[in-house]
Structure 1
Amino acid sequence: MIEISPQDLADRYMAQWTEPDAAERRAAIERLWAEDGTHILQPPVEIREIAAKLGFDHTTLEAQGYDAIEIRVARSYERFVEKGGFTFRSRADAVRLHGVVKFGWETVSVETGDVAGGGLEILVLDDDSRIKADYMFPGA
């Protein structure tokens, strides 16, 4: 397995979410992710509660492959960075255990610098240290 600094990976991972140039964003995705990588998001609690009332026993949201991940990252950029006035940054707490990297991240107001939210990220890496599975827990 190719070794990579867990903090460097966390920082590059977060940078893809704030990259304004679509071509650069796609290139970052292709450098970071395995071709069949999957982004798995635990939705906010209010969405999970609504889904449970409708009889759904799970509520994970998934995007698999470069194209789907690119759409997911682009929509997040448009909503939170471009229109919302936020940026994302990793906390300085990334750790690696074999092929798994765990770190926290923050949503930060560009205008005030205040932390408005954040979460926990668990990345499962392939033998080339590219993201095979990404488990995102906003609010954690």
Structure 2
Amino acid sequence: MTDIAAIADGYIALWNERDDVERRARLARQWTADASYVDPLMQGDGVDGIDALVSGVQQRFPEFRFRQLGAADGHGNYVRFSWGLGPDKADCPIQGTDFVELADGRIRRVTGFLDKVPEGA
């Protein structure tokens, strides 16, 4: 059985990892080689494409961190959870919900939805 909380925790940790080498190691451990990510603003394929997305978000919002909002849930090979992006110890001005498809316990596909995005973000 897949540990849904561990999948969500690892996903959030990846988006917060600032060390390039460790981030790529997390991708290699937690995501499949053919993984893909898509949301209304961006998309990436494979380890290189997803790493570039994470790095780009970190560069655009250097003082912000991701955190999980509420508990993750799921069934079969699917996990769903909500997240916030914002400064530590403050409300998250950017929020979303991601739907994750797993393959052999690793992330294969993410479809993201942006629930709250301030103008100009």
Work out whether the TM-score is over 0.5.
yes
Give the C-alpha shift of residue 6 in structure 1.
0.9
RMSD over aligned CA atoms reads 1.4
Question: Where does 1:21-60 land on structure 2 (aligned, <5 Å)?
Answer: 21-43=19-41
Q: Which residue of the other structure, out of 62, 66, 70, is the alignment partner of 1:88?
A: 66
Question: Where does 1:1-140 land on structure 2 (aligned, <5 Å)?
Answer: 3-43=1-41, 61-80=42-61, 82=62, 85-110=63-88, 112-126=89-103, 128-139=104-115
Change (3 A) 1:62 1:115: closer
The answer on whether the counterparts of 1:122 and 1:134 sit within 8 Å (CA) in structure 2 is: yes
Bigger relative contact order (CA 8 A; separation at least 6)? 1
Q: Which runs of 5+ in 1 are unaligned?
A: 44-60
Larger-Rg structure: 1
Give the C-alpha shift of residue 9 in structure 1.
0.9
TM-score (norm 2): 0.88
Give the C-alpha shift of residue 117 in structure 1.
2.1
Greater strand content = 2
Q: Percent identity?
A: 29
Distance 2:102 2:40 in 1: 19
Distance 1:22 1:67 in 2: 11
Change (3 A) 1:101 1:113: same
